[in-house]
Structure 1
Amino acid sequence: MYLGLDLGTSGLKGVVIDDKGNVLAQESVPLTVESLHATWSEQDPLSWWQACKDVINQLQQRLDLSKLKALGLSGQMHGATLIDTEGNVLRPCILWNDGRSQAQCEALMAQFPDLIERSGNLYMPGFTAPKIRWVQENEPEVFAKLAHVLLPKDYLVYRLTGVMSSDCSDAAGTLWLNPETRQWDDALLAATGLSQANMPKVYEGCDVVGTLSEAIAQELGLPQLPVVAGAGDNAAGAVGMGVTNPGQGFISLGTSGVYFTVSESHKANPQNTVHAFCHALPNRWHQMGVTLSAANSLAWFAKLVDKSVAELLDALEDSDIERTNVLFLPYLSGERTPHNDPLANGQFIGLTNTVNVEAMTLAILEGVAFSLLDCQNALDSAGSAVDELSLIGGGARSALWRQIISNVLNKRLIYRDGGDVGPGLGAARLALLGEQQSQGKNIESLIAEYCTMPYVLEVHEPVATFGSYYQDKYALYQSLYQSTKDLNEKLMRLSS
């Protein structure tokens, strides 16, 4: 058996597979996010470690984990986990959806104009490098103690093995990695006052980086397993869904929304806010468009009206509402593709006395679909168009939402078995690949054998009768952001 641990924003999930790649069990533990100020988003890394122990304990109630052969991790990207010389956490991790470092992004691009060419990506507040510049300028006492920077899942690898490591898919999202060489870049590090000494060694996602330490293995009740480098959550999700070759793609409906395509080389396209990163598997790269609040938009609204997400979706389906005059911008945490605007706000427009919760729920589903269309347009302009897409993530469980996205994107969408555990499944597959590779087996043969696409559960084709409705509404969606951009910035300053 092989264990994959997926450290998400809202929870940590454990997935166990057998040596044929079949999912045997999964468990999860929730996590919380702290937002002390507008645009801030932080988590305590110690809560990740506790969640890791809890998930393993839950899995042990169902399976004999003494049979595990290897462990892999996936994790939320871009988080700045700051470590001192003794291995202690210096402050809460600044997460991927934190927008406080916009000024630092602008300063870095002005001061070092070659940085975008070296990293292949725009400097955005969500990425790790500008967060470190913010800490340097605003928390100098913390920066003075900084010895190492780890990404979230790499912190867990460190706690498990005592080894500081990363993989090139996750490391590419820091803006310190050169995606072409798949290694740290000295000039990119120096721009934020760091050097190679502050960084973990970079591996391919399926490479074994160490084993569980004796003390940790005893504490967790596990054998001293080999641990692979793992992957950023989106690259791990691609491995889990068998999206490993150029021309393939998927959409992830997690806390954020991701439109992911595989490429045979590093195809930088920063002018269209496309993320161009390394894949978790050797000799592969990928491009992404990202919207920061996908399933989170629905979870936010559910909490607001004191209902569960399932209750909202059930009520919408029972209502038979298929169109609404309400329009929603899902910019609750700012937005990346295509705006790169941490101050963008979520909005409803079209509210009247007759609007009900069901109409607003539908507007949210449509708004997230429109944000994914923004991503699709950006990727198309970068030469990364695909004919069909797989879907993963918790939000993908809704057949209604899947169909709306198919209609809006005008694409064939395929919902596959295991789509709700894609990154965890990918992490477990990377563990399997790493353990088999360490026995001398060819990695490309292993990828072809084990990184297959899961069984198709449902196929969604775009419904032509909705074409003009969504085209017209998408045009209004685009104009709404542009029309209210200045007003939103003034409102943010007024309340700060």
Structure 2
Amino acid sequence: MSLDVKNAIQSGKTILGIELGSTRIKAVLIGEDQAPIASGSHVWENSYVNNIWTYSLEDIWKGLQDSYQKMANDVRQQYGVTLQTIGALGLSGMMHGYMVFDKAGELLVPFRTWRNNITEKACEELTKVFNYHIPQRWSIAHLYQAILNEEEHIADISYLTTVSGYIHWKLTGSKVLGVGDASGMFPIDVNTKNYNVRMMNQFNELITSKNLPWKLEDILPNVCVAGEGAGILSEEGANFLDITGELKSGIPLCPPEGDAGTGMVATNSVAKRTGNVSAGTSVFAMVVLEKELSKVYSEIDLVTTPAGNLVAMAHSNNCSTDLNAWVGLFEEFAKAMGLDVDKNNLYGTLYNLALQGDPDCGGLLAYGYHSGEHMTHFEEGRPLFVRLSDSKFNLANFMRVHLFTAWGALKIGMDILLKQEGEKLDQILGHGGLFKTQGVGQSIMAAALNVPVSVMETAGEGGAWGIALLASYMINKSETETLEEYLNQNGFAGKKGVTISPDPKDVEGFEEFMKRYTKGLAIERAAVDYLK
């Protein structure tokens, strides 16, 4: 097997996927059987600068190059060869946000990420004009808010894109975006697999009085669907990516995608009646719809699969950040006691304790709102832990309530889909950091959604593996093969997973917790208003 992999590397039959996530940039190299053969990652964090959550361009490139180099070093150490070419390359990144450039290719304002809840007025106006929910994270909301704010850079915009579109542009020279990522910039017409022309015309009319030197269609990336070619790695791009100069140019790239789309691919959730949940710094659920929703919901975003099919997305800005902070506190305590505790063991121990808690967390309440939370209409966040004097305050319930609240805001959106709209799901597939401790995240999510939850053995590879599969689909598909068919026959053929069905007692307990969670939002509001 090692010899076969070595030959595949040397003959350029491997495929590389790179994803820029919120806390990690990961590069995954896959072989001819679609299985990962080498990887590298770079840990990073966003910065809060002048009231904006951002990453600098320097950090983007430093992280990208570091993750690539670690992957290339992994190849060298495992197989004794230098990586010089690959069969195809794919790039993925955090969806939404605001990256605008002038005609010279210079960034006009610092990258405004999905995490910024600063576009409320723009969202309200655009949702009314389009009769289509525009979330605060979306690129069009950031653009229109900047216009409403009369920001100086607006007239100089030549290109508006996402972080994956930006990297792809710099590596290939092509201003394109996969339809899934594009659907988080501006609404997509699922019939044409392109931007909604009616809404685009409405937007252009809306800003006519501003006398701007561009129309919206002039500054957005061109839209591609899964399977299409989206550019070739240039010599400059190869040197951007591999600072050692070993990587050769000429490698084909698939359309750059958002982390939501690659998550769907990585969990084989691109077919109707399937869904997936990605749980990390933020948490979002993607449900492939059988029909359009009956009305507009502020809690539900409509995006698409990488193939352009309609998806309902319930997104919560906050998931594991506050939970991780509490685990970090316990780690500090262990060190203060002179104990050398392995972090993975610490997470495993604390998470498994949560399964021993009372079904409803013993009356405890918590909000992990590290940042604002659009699902419950908070422009800022205040992490909180609240209990009554007679609550059952013990470590099991403490961990349980922090795991429960990680799903709290998401459940509000999912209840709309499953209870109000009557959407049917055969199962949900989970991936991301909250599922690393076997069985715990699955059990609690199954209780939250009252749906069987599966985690594939490949779930740990996440979106980097997902975008590698999309690159593989581009160069290996047959003429009429759909993405769904390709994944079933290739990426997931023979792959094993673990499924956990909801426990009725846990489902009932989560519903009780949600009554407390909903009622207690007034406490969170008071904290936001008075703790400035």
The normalised TM-score by structure 2 is: 0.82
Work out whether residues 273 and 340 of structure 1, in 8 Å CA contact, stay in contact via their aligned partners in 2: no
Structure 2 equivalent of residue 348 of structure 1: 385
Change (3 A) 1:313 1:491: farther
Structure 1 equivalent of residue 262 of structure 2: 236
Give me the whole-angstrom Cα distance separating, in 1, the residues matched to 2:396 and 2:90: 41
Give me the whole-angstrom Cα distance separating, in 2, the residues matched to 1:132 and 1:309: 41
Give the drift of 1:57: 1.0
Structure 2 equivalent of residue 45 of structure 1: 57
Question: Which range is displaced more, 361-370 or 152-161?
Answer: 361-370
What secondary structure sits across from 2:284 in the alignment? strand
Work out whether residues 158 and 165 of structure 1, in 8 Å CA contact, stay in contact via their aligned partners in 2: yes
Work out whether residues 28 and 36 of structure 2, in 8 Å CA contact, stay in contact via their aligned partners in 1: yes
Give the drift of 1:453: 6.7
Counterpart selection for 2:111 from 93, 107, 112: 93
Question: Structure 1, unaligned stretches of length 5 or more?
Answer: none
Give me the whole-angstrom Cα distance separating, in 1, the residues matched to 2:163 and 2:247: 22
Q: 2:157 aligned with 1:146, yes or no?
A: yes
Larger radius of gyration between Structure 1 and Structure 2: 2
Q: 2:425 aligned with 1:386, yes or no?
A: yes
Counterpart selection for 2:42 from 14, 29, 37: 29
Structure 2 equivalent of residue 136 of structure 1: 147
Residue type of the alignment partner of 2:247: L
Give me the whole-angstrom Cα distance separating, in 1, the residues matched to 2:91 and 2:285: 21
Work out whether residues 4 and 73 of structure 1, in 8 Å CA contact, stay in contact via their aligned partners in 2: yes
Work out whether residues 364 and 392 of structure 2, in 8 Å CA contact, stay in contact via their aligned partners in 1: no
Residue type of the alignment partner of 2:425: V
Give the drift of 1:490: 2.9
> What do residues 184-236 of structure 1 show as CA deviations (whole Å, max 9, x unaligned)?
33325424664211111111133211111022224523232101113211111
Give me the whole-angstrom Cα distance separating, in 2, the residues matched to 1:104 and 1:375: 22
Give me the whole-angstrom Cα distance separating, in 1, the residues matched to 2:173 and 2:86: 20
Change (3 A) 1:176 1:310: farther
Work out whether residues 323 and 368 of structure 2, in 8 Å CA contact, stay in contact via their aligned partners in 1: no
What secondary structure sits across from 1:259 in the alignment? strand
What secondary structure sits across from 1:166 in the alignment? strand
Structure 1 equivalent of residue 219 of structure 2: 198
Q: 2:134 aligned with 1:123, yes or no?
A: yes
Change (3 A) 1:86 1:56: same
Structure 2 equivalent of residue 409 of structure 1: 449
Q: 2:305 aligned with 1:290, yes or no?
A: no
Change (3 A) 1:335 1:25: same
Work out whether residues 245 and 264 of structure 1, in 8 Å CA contact, stay in contact via their aligned partners in 2: no
Give me the whole-angstrom Cα distance separating, in 2, the residues matched to 1:320 and 1:426: 31
Give the drift of 1:65: 2.9
Give me the whole-angstrom Cα distance separating, in 1, the residues matched to 2:369 and 2:100: 28
Structure 2 equivalent of residue 187 of structure 1: 201
Counterpart mapping for 1:455-494 below 5 A: 455-481=495-521, 483-484=522-523, 487-488=526-527, 490-491=529-530
Counterpart selection for 1:104 from 122, 125, 130: 122
Give me the whole-angstrom Cα distance separating, in 1, the residues matched to 2:494 and 2:62: 31
What secondary structure sits across from 1:61 in the alignment? helix
Question: Which range is displaced more, 416-425 or 465-474?
Answer: 465-474
Work out whether residues 125 and 342 of structure 1, in 8 Å CA contact, stay in contact via their aligned partners in 2: no
Work out whether residues 241 and 451 of structure 1, in 8 Å CA contact, stay in contact via their aligned partners in 2: no
Q: 2:462 aligned with 1:422, yes or no?
A: yes
Give me the whole-angstrom Cα distance separating, in 2, the residues matched to 1:273 and 1:103: 16
Give the drift of 1:320: 7.3
Change (3 A) 1:316 1:413: closer
Structure 2 equivalent of residue 276 of structure 1: 302
Work out whether residues 298 and 309 of structure 1, in 8 Å CA contact, stay in contact via their aligned partners in 2: no
Question: Which range is displaced more, 345-354 or 417-426?
Answer: 345-354
Work out whether residues 299 and 309 of structure 1, in 8 Å CA contact, stay in contact via their aligned partners in 2: no
Work out whether residues 96 and 138 of structure 2, in 8 Å CA contact, stay in contact via their aligned partners in 1: yes
Work out whether residues 256 and 294 of structure 1, in 8 Å CA contact, stay in contact via their aligned partners in 2: yes
Work out whether residues 77 and 96 of structure 1, in 8 Å CA contact, stay in contact via their aligned partners in 2: yes
Structure 1 equivalent of residue 83 of structure 2: 65
Give the drift of 1:286: 1.3
Residue type of the alignment partner of 1:181: T
Q: 2:248 aligned with 1:227, yes or no?
A: no
Give the drift of 1:73: 1.5
Give the drift of 1:321: 4.5
Q: 2:332 aligned with 1:332, yes or no?
A: no
Question: Which range is displaced more, 163-172 or 257-266?
Answer: 257-266
Give the drift of 1:157: 0.2
What secondary structure sits across from 1:94 in the alignment? coil
Work out whether residues 147 and 198 of structure 1, in 8 Å CA contact, stay in contact via their aligned partners in 2: yes
Give the drift of 1:269: 4.5
Give me the whole-angstrom Cα distance separating, in 1, the residues matched to 2:461 and 2:394: 33
Structure 2 equivalent of residue 83 of structure 1: 101
The normalised TM-score by structure 1 is: 0.88
What secondary structure sits across from 1:174 in the alignment? coil
Give the drift of 1:72: 0.8
Work out whether residues 354 and 399 of structure 2, in 8 Å CA contact, stay in contact via their aligned partners in 1: no
Change (3 A) 1:468 1:440: closer
Percent identity of equivalent pairs: 19
Structure 1 equivalent of residue 228 of structure 2: 207
Give the drift of 1:435: 1.5
Structure 2 equivalent of residue 156 of structure 1: 167
Give the drift of 1:37: 5.4
Counterpart selection for 1:54 from 44, 52, 66: 66
Q: What RMSD, in angstroms, separates the aligned Cα atoms of the two structures?
A: 2.8
Change (3 A) 1:316 1:51: closer
Counterpart selection for 2:326 from 301, 307, 316: 301
Question: Which range is displaced more, 192-201 or 239-248?
Answer: 192-201
Give the drift of 1:5: 0.7
